[in-house]
Amino acid sequence: MRVLAISGSLRRDSYNTKLLRAAEELVAANVRFEHYDELESVPPYNEDRDTQGAPPAVARLREAIAGADALLIATPEYNASVPGQLKNAIDWASRPVRAGALWGKPVVVIGASTGMYGGVWAQAELRKILGTAGARVVDAEVAVGRAHDRFDEDGRLTDDEIRDELREAANALVLAAGPQLAAA
């Protein structure tokens, strides 16, 4: 099965991107990760531009989501909420209603922040947004607080407890995508 990993941070050394790389190492060999890396190029949502010829970056985003069996999204927390660029991408992927790439797509939300709580507010809002957009939000959470202390120089997780939580969340995502895919 294919998991599309989306980091809500555009920063080159993003802890959220590292968290997604760590998740990739914890899943079964038959689960293939694709790391979406074009978030910065998605233009602001404009219904006037959401025609059959949607902007190329949007078309690629929608294709990447539609082609995945499940999504794993790691979000930072900006001003107690979801980064605007991530929200913007979700808005594009949610259209058209009931036929957008996100419709019915299993998704797990995780997150890392340098604060104490791992961006739980942003995660909660992201789940709300995704649920409203019609995605199948899986009940799983990984909140990595003090993210600057949780990865080594090679970007690997140093905390076993977080690694276990991450494995559990990734497995929940694989199961939600369907038992037939978990084995494929």
Segment interacting with another protein (CB under 8 A) among 7-15, 85-93, 131-139, 141-149: 131-139
| Residue 134 contacts another protein per CB under 8 A | yes
DSSP code, position 48: G
As a whole number of angstroms, the distance between CA 61 and CA 105 comes to 14
- We find the least distance from the C-beta atom of residue 120 to another protein, in angstroms, to be 17
- Can you tell me whether residue 78 is helix, strand or coil? strand
Segment interacting with another protein (CB under 8 A) among 8-16, 61-69, 96-104, 142-150: 96-104
As a whole number of angstroms, the distance between CA 27 and CA 62 comes to 24
| Residue 104 contacts another protein per CB under 8 A | yes
Q: Do 6 and 93 form a contact (C-beta atoms < 8 A)? A: no
- We find the least distance from the C-beta atom of residue 107 to another protein, in angstroms, to be 10
| Residue 132 contacts another protein per CB under 8 A | yes
**For residues 72 and 133, which CB has a smaller minimum distance to another protein in the complex?**
133
| Residue 87 contacts another protein per CB under 8 A | no
Q: Which residues have a Cβ under 8 Å from the Cβ of 132 and sit 6 or more positions away?
A: none
**For residues 20 and 122, which CB has a smaller minimum distance to another protein in the complex?**
122
Q: Do 105 and 167 form a contact (C-beta atoms < 8 A)? A: no
Helices and strands (DSSP H and E) totals, the chain:
6, 6
Handedness of CA 87, 90, 96, 102 (dihedral sign): negative
| Residue 41 contacts another protein per CB under 8 A | no
Which one among 19, 89, 108, 137 touches another protein, defined by CB under 8 A?
A: 137
Residues in contact with another protein by the rule CB under 8 A = 97-98, 103-104, 131-137
